[in-house]
Structure 1
């Protein structure tokens, strides 16, 4: 069973990773495996020196991925299928892998135009939610990303729609192929601005248990006033 660490963007999550790596070099032992790739994909940035074991592990995985996939930007996330064929150190992968299409490799990376737009939309949402304005409504398009290709997407959508609060209405949705069998959920929602904070919805409902059993992360793709 794959090792999964929750909330790796928080101090408690990084502490659990740090403790796990205190007696080993990689998630599952002395060599990089697909477990390392999955956990690496969930870490937002290199851990600080306050987490020496996690920081050393992150640097090692980054270095090996860069050697195995030349030309890909640091921070690009890789799917479990790309590493499942070889649990040995990634430097043994053949150069032909580097010639794969960038769109297929960059599953949940930080360098795509889509993610840049999502980051800008997220910042706009934070500023909008921080200001006290007259009551209004907004329409939001949300990207909900699973942990991997084995995630039950029907259960994921049911989990999202099960979240109920005053001023929140879920709308149309669809599954969008990301690559290598992985799909993400795109779902529309409308909110009453004075009643619902999108950041609060994501951080306190969508990316914590029990929803985090299926959901790795959420991104705001579009945020429009109605």
Structure 2
């Protein structure tokens, strides 16, 4: 339907025709704002009632938002207000088109950089939600080499291990016989970030911590 068929947009009949035409559409000519939208927008004296004309009201807001965001300082200083005359609105559109002959990105279409940034933000949000979705509480026994092992230094060595998703908790020394004590320690982990097996094999029982730690055993593992 051509834009010229939208007549008397200040009347109820004209707004009803526009409302009917916009059913299922975002803009006059499809999913992209065009000169047709600008002309019709400028011909509407005020925003259509959202109760009476929901399609037209939504379309009006979309066009107003696009124009407001896209033309600050452009078109030789001609601006668009919420109720701009048709001549000024079309002049702004045409002036912008002259500056960009291929009509690309006239209304704030995302650049490749903006799309990439938006995708990265979404991935970061999804990653954060995933990382925070599962946590576990672990009780671990840390055993020294013998009764001469400095248990204070053993604990300091264990707690020196820092990594994303790992939080050390309370600890205590428990006698195991022959003057030897083991350290029982609590830790909380984010499941997607920390593997307890890897923590033990790659951090707690290798140099330099294995100077004090002979072995580690998981006593309890509970999902939080």
TM-score by length of 1: 0.41
TM-score by length of 2: 0.41
Which of structures 1 and 2 has the bigger CA Rg? 2
